[in-house]
């Protein structure tokens, strides 16, 4: 900018006064005043806009916030006039010339308008203690230092060196000047490093590109033109940056054609001048022209003061020279000449003159950034408002956490959470109406296939080889009439247990035991009655078969059922705990890892006892029915009938009223039907005479006949059916019912609750990992970030109001609006501080005592009166500080218990490898001693049909 004032002395070492030209020409003075008035007309909006821009940039850098903030980067070949163009923004020379030193990094120039400075005064905000006349040599030293420090990167770095300066002649603006592109093969590494830096910035969509090139170079003749297109659009990126291709880069590029003085010298007539400018315009849209050196002026040969004067006079000098060139063209066009009149035309002033001049170039570059910034403002506002809401929520969350740093409140919250957890577990398992809206079926319900998939992904899953097992995929392949009906139904809670019973019963029912060969069967008949008898001990043989078949069917099956029950119980707890921790009153407990781990461990150990009781009850039933196989259904029924007849003929019954006759007739009818059933369909009862096997043999092979073989199968089915019933009752009584009443299953004086109540405040603080100072630091950080977010949001709103409202219609000026917003921000900050102080006044902030792990074990754990493994587990849990360590510790406990529980249903002689041997060795045999199940079923169906026919014939 130009001024009439003389040079002034700097007011400090941080400022520099620049010598200005003095010109008494009235026209020049008028132009200076007009330019100053124009600058003042735009200063307010430019100032507020640049404030918003700087605050946005500060936020993005300080908090790594992704904000799409437009910036400007200057790109061009070496010797294209790029540095001279930068100097015309700074209004003083700062370029350095040295054959051995070149630009080694981008340079960021921040120009600030400061009306408090006097005319010609330059104040350096960064680097400190710098003056304008020393900046060139300073930059030279910086580049030399970077060349030495960054040798591993070829002597270059991508991060810019920052220059921050103020003047009352500036319009707030920022320029990023990257090193000039080079051509040729003389220094390929240098060229590669420069292009790498350039690609990083021009491919970034935040940057508006100012492409600087000489006006006498068109298209492929300009290195920068070719390389700029390649760096922006090629795939993959030529220099390997991570930005995607920027195919629309031309929409965000302005081309500045320098050295226009040479173009003027080469084009002396209107036709060639108009055609040449039009060609450049069409090739580079939008484009503008500037001449910055006239008459062979050399900055290197002149003093700093003279160079400053030249820069300040450049606008007038250039304007004069361009106008003179146009006048010469027009004069030439008006000269009558028969030989050249057709080739000479007037210069197109209206279309081309507004594109020429340093002032026009400066304005257009700034307008490029202004337009981009205006377009981004609405989106930036949305992001800022979203961030403010987010951190307001975080502030409230941390405040709630801080309020929970009081051990008394923490203890109450812990006890309330435990009570709610137990209550909700009971409601979830029973799927009561009180909680079905919290756990909607469409979100939490699972089919058996989905359940099995989650079971296999469970971190405690262990593969169990059970010979009767059928995966969900195999079950789903069966016909609808030959598979469990609940397979595809979506269940929540305890209904999963009933489906497990149904599916396991189905798998047991369709399972066919491993076929034993004749030698195995005869080896089992090893006990002889005596020397005078040659009959083998058939009853012993049957006992061994039944024992083996039942073990094969149920041993590993109970292990599978145990793991499925354990998985479901853990599955229920995760749903319930996630729901509770999502509620406002318990959301802050998500970070109370130790307490939640103690709740989970207590839940695990309690429910584990339920399952172990169920396993123990079934184990005893299995042993009894395997060790002593005795079933005489007909005989037992006859005994029952005789007892009924005897009871009905007693003297007491004879003395009863007429109702006895009806009862007696019913009993007689039942007796008759029992006898008829036993006579007409003897296979419906296991034995008719109370013996295990008849002694009848095949006279040729001495093998047992088919009826004998069917008896073994029927006996196995009978025992199997009893055990399925025993299994169901044991698990339902000890697990399902207990889970449905979980809130009542644990007495108040046992479990985790009494231990929580017996803890001191210091022990609660240790359990809760209370860190009041950490919460205060979090609040301070969030408050600082909120303050900066609100300041930036307000600055952006001021700019938006200026853009979208007529300034003359505004009732309040920018200053009054900013003041009002500042007061609102202060009120917000005071309110946050008031809330924080109110909570801090209630906290034991001066508490210095810290409970150690030894104190924990001698006080809290001694409350239970013993030193069990449970106590050891809790003590070790309290010694852990990291969430991952706690999680792994609990997982080790769970897996250790699972390993024990999966074998808890084994009898003394059971081995886990039994089913593996069966699965690996199962042959297909047709030995006479094996049971052909399909043939057996067919024969049973034929006998039943024959029995029905005889019955119908008899009735007829």
Residue 850 has pLDDT above 60, yes or no: no
Average pLDDT for residues 442-462, to the nearest whole number? 94
Residue 690 has pLDDT above 90, yes or no: no
Residue 235 has pLDDT above 70, yes or no: yes
Report whether 528 contacts 536 (CB < 8 A).
yes
Least confident of 21-25, 263-267, 713-717: 21-25
Choice between 564 and 841, residue whose per-residue pLDDT is larger: 564
pLDDT classification of 748: cutoffs 50, 70, 90: low
Report whether 783 contacts 828 (CB < 8 A).
no
Q: Answer whether residue 73 is part of any domain.
A: yes
Residue 134 has pLDDT above 80, yes or no: yes
Specify the number of domains making up the chain.
2
Place of tokens 């000047």: 177
Indicate if 553 and 621 belong to the same structural domain.
Answer: yes
Indicate if 76 and 208 belong to the same structural domain.
Answer: yes
- What is the widest separation between alpha-carbon atoms in the chain? 158
Q: Answer whether residue 82 is part of any domain.
A: yes
Least confident of 58-67, 395-404, 823-832: 395-404
Average pLDDT for residues 131-152, to the nearest whole number? 92
Residue 943 has pLDDT above 80, yes or no: no
Residue 14 has pLDDT above 50, yes or no: no
Average pLDDT for residues 105-121, to the nearest whole number? 91
pLDDT for res 665? 55
pLDDT, one tens digit per residue, over 889-906 is 999 999 999 999 999 999
Q: How far apart are CA 291 and CA 478, in angstroms?
A: 88
Closest CA to 714 of 746, 744, 740, 682: 682
Indicate if 74 and 223 belong to the same structural domain.
Answer: yes
Q: Answer whether residue 935 is part of any domain.
A: no
Mean pLDDT of the chain: 78
Instruction: Give residue 813's Cα distance to chain centre.
Output: 46
Other C-beta atoms lying within 10 Å of the C-beta of residue 787:
15
Residues 6+ apart with CB under 8 A from 133: 16, 92, 304
Q: Is the whole-model pTM more than 0.85?
A: no
pLDDT for res 941? 47
Residue 169, helix vs strand vs coil: coil
Residue 493 falls in which region: left (phi positive, over 0), alpha (psi -120 to 50) or beta: left
pLDDT for res 97? 59
Residue 294 has pLDDT above 70, yes or no: yes
Domain range for 614 is 410-642+710-768
For helices 814-840 and 26-62, the axis angle rounded to 10 degrees is: 20
Indicate if 322 and 460 belong to the same structural domain.
Answer: no
Indicate if 244 and 290 belong to the same structural domain.
Answer: yes
pLDDT classification of 772: cutoffs 50, 70, 90: confident
Residue 853 has pLDDT above 80, yes or no: no
Report whether 357 contacts 322 (CB < 8 A).
yes
Indicate if 479 and 350 belong to the same structural domain.
Answer: no
Q: Answer whether residue 203 is part of any domain.
A: yes
Indicate if 313 and 444 belong to the same structural domain.
Answer: no
pLDDT classification of 457: cutoffs 50, 70, 90: very high
Choice between 258 and 766, residue whose per-residue pLDDT is larger: 258
Indicate if 358 and 446 belong to the same structural domain.
Answer: no
pLDDT for res 709? 57
pLDDT, one tens digit per residue, over 329-372 is 998 888 776 445 546 789 999 999 999 999 999 999 999 998 89
Q: How far apart are CA 144 and CA 154, in angstroms?
A: 13
Instruction: Give residue 694's Cα distance to chain centre.
Output: 71
pLDDT, one tens digit per residue, over 584-620 is 889 888 888 899 999 999 999 999 999 999 999 999 9
Least confident of 106-120, 137-151, 678-692, 833-847: 678-692
For helices 407-430 and 538-581, the axis angle rounded to 10 degrees is: 130
Q: Answer whether residue 442 is part of any domain.
A: yes
pLDDT for res 694? 47
Indicate if 361 and 416 belong to the same structural domain.
Answer: no
Indicate if 371 and 416 belong to the same structural domain.
Answer: no
Residue 142 has pLDDT above 90, yes or no: yes
pLDDT for res 541? 72
pLDDT classification of 764: cutoffs 50, 70, 90: confident
Choice between 347 and 666, residue whose per-residue pLDDT is larger: 347
Q: Answer whether residue 821 is part of any domain.
A: no
pLDDT for res 539? 67
Percent of the chain with pLDDT over 70: 73
Indicate if 531 and 624 belong to the same structural domain.
Answer: yes
Q: Which of 702, 734, 768 is the last residue of a domain?
A: 768
pLDDT for res 829? 87
Indicate if 188 and 104 belong to the same structural domain.
Answer: yes
pLDDT, one tens digit per residue, over 506-550 is 999 999 887 777 677 777 766 544 444 344 556 677 778 888 888
Q: Answer whether residue 778 is part of any domain.
A: no
Q: Answer whether residue 440 is part of any domain.
A: yes
Q: Which of 741, 768, 795 is the last residue of a domain?
A: 768
Q: Which of 736, 768, 800 is the last residue of a domain?
A: 768
Least confident of 37-51, 103-117, 355-369, 676-690: 676-690
Average pLDDT for residues 800-807, to the nearest whole number? 64
Place of tokens 């449970």: 870
Average pLDDT for residues 637-648, to the nearest whole number? 46
pLDDT classification of 817: cutoffs 50, 70, 90: confident
Percent of the chain with pLDDT over 90: 43
Helix and strand numbers, DSSP H then E, in the chain: 33, 9
Least confident of 208-217, 480-489, 802-811, 944-953: 944-953
Average pLDDT for residues 9-21, to the nearest whole number? 41
Least confident of 132-146, 208-222, 310-324: 208-222
pLDDT classification of 730: cutoffs 50, 70, 90: very high
CATH assignment at residue 281: 3.40.50.300
């Amino acid at each position: 900018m130009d001024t009439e004032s003389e040079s002034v002395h700097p007011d400090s070492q941080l400022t520099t006064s620049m010598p200005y030209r003095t010109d008494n020409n009235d026209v020049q003075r008028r132009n200076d005043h007009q330019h100053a008035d124009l600058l003042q007309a735009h200063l307010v909006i430019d100032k507020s806009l640049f404030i918003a821009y700087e605050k946005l940039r500060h936020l993005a850098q300080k908090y790594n916030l992704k904000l799409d903030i437009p910036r400007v980067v200057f790109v061009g070949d070496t010797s294209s006039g790029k540095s001279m163009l930068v100097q015309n923004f700074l209004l003083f020379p700062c370029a350095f010339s040295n054959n051995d030193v070149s630009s080694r990094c981008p340079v960021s120039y921040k120009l600030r308008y400061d009306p408090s400075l006097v005319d010609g005064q330059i104040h350096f905000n960064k680097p400190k203690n710098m003056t304008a006349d020393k900046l060139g040599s300073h930059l030279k030293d910086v580049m030399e230092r970077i060349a030495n420090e960054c040798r591993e990167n070829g002597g270059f770095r991508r991060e810019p060196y920052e220059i921050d300066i103020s003047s009352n002649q500036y319009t707030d603006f920022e320029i990023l000047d990257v090193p000039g592109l080079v051509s040729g093969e003389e220094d390929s590494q240098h060229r590669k490093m420069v292009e790498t830096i350039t690609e990083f910035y021009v491919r970034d969509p935040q940057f508006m590109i100012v492409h600087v090139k000489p006006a006498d170079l068109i298209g492929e003749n300009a290195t920068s033109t070719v390389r700029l297109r390649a760096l922006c659009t090629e795939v993959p990126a030529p220099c390997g940056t991570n930005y995607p291709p920027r195919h629309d880069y031309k929409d965000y590029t302005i081309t500045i054609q320098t050295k226009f003085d040479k173009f003027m010298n080469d084009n002396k007539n209107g036709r060639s001048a108009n055609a040449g400018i039009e060609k450049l315009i069409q090739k580079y849209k939008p484009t503008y022209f500037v001449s910055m050196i006239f008459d062979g002026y050399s900055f290197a040969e002149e003093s700093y003061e003279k160079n400053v004067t030249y820069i300040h006079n450049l606008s007038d000098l250039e304007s004069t020279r361009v106008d003179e060139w146009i006048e010469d063209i027009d004069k030439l066009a008006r000269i009558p000449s028969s030989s050249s009149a057709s080739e000479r035309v007037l210069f197109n002033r209206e279309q081309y003159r507004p594109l020429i001049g340093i002032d026009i170039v400066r304005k257009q570059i700034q307008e490029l950034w202004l337009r981009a910034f205006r377009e981004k403002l609405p989106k930036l506002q949305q992001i800022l408002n979203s961030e403010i809401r987010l951190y307001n929520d975080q502030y409230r969350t941390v405040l709630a956490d801080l309020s929970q740093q009081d051990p008394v409140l923490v203890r109450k919250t812990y006890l309330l959470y435990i009570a709610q957890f137990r209550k909700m577990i009971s409601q979830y398992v029973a799927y009561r109406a009180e909680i079905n809206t919290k756990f909607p079926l469409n979100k939490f319900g699972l089919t058996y296939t989905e359940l099995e998939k989650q079971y296999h992904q469970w971190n405690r899953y262990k593969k169990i080889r059970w010979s009767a097992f059928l995966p969900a995929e195999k079950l789903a392949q069966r016909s609808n009439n030959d598979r469990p009906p609940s397979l595809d139904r979506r269940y929540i809670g305890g209904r999963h247990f009933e489906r497990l019973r149904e599916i396991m019963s189905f798998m047991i029912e369709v399972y066919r035991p491993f076929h034993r060969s004749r030698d195995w069967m005869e080896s089992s008949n090893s006990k002889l009655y005596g020397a005078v008898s040659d009959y083998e001990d058939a009853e012993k043989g049957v006992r061994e078969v039944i024992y083996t078949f039942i073990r094969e069917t149920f041993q590993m099956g109970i292990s599978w059922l145990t793991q499925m029950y354990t998985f479901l119980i853990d599955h229920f707890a995760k749903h319930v705990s996630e729901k509770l921790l999502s509620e406002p009153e318990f959301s802050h407990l998500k970070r109370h890892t130790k307490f939640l781990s103690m709740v989970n461990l207590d839940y695990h150990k309690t429910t584990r006892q339920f399952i172990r009781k169920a396993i123990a009850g079934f184990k005893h039933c299995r042993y009894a029915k395997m060790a002593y196989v005795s079933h005489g259904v007909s005989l037992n029924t006859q005994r029952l009938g005789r007892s009924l007849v005897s009871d009905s003929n007693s003297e007491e019954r004879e003395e009863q009223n007429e109702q006895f006759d009806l009862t007696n007739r019913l009993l007689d009818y039942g007796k008759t039907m029992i006898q008829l059933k036993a006579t007409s369909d003897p296979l419906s009862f296991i034995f008719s005479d109370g013996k295990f096997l008849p002694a009848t043999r095949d006279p040729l092979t001495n093998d047992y006949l088919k009826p004998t073989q069917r008896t073994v199968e029927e006996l196995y089915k009978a025992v199997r059916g009893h055990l399925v019933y025993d299994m169901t009752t044991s698990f339902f009584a000890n697990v399902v019912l207990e889970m449905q009443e979980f809130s009542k299953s644990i007495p108040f004086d046992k479990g985790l609750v009494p231990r929580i109540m017996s803890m001191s405040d210091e022990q609660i603080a240790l359990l809760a990992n209370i860190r009041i100072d950490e919460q205060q630091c979090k609040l301070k950080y969030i408050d600082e970030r909120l303050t900066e977010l609100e300041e930036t949001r307000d600055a952006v709103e001021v700019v938006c109001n200026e853009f979208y409202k007529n300034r003359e219609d505004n009732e309040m000026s920018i200053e009054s609006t900013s003041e009002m917003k500042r007061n609102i921000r202060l009120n917000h900050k005071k309110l946050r501080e008031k809330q924080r102080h109110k909570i801090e006044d209630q906290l034991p902030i001066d508490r210095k005592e810290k409970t150690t792990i030894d104190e924990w074990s001698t006080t809290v754990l001694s409350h239970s009166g013993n030193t069990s493994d449970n106590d050891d587990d809790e003590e070790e849990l309290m010694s852990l500080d990291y969430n991952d360590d706690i999680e792994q510790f609990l997982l080790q406990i769970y897996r250790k218990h699972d390993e024990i529980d999966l074998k808890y249903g084994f009898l003394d002689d059971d081995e886990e490898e039994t089913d593996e041997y069966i699965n690996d060795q199962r042959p297909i045999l047709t030995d006479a001693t094996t049971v052909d199940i399909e043939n057996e079923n067919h024969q049973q169906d034929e006998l039943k049909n024959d029995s029905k026919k005889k019955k119908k014939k008899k009735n007829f």
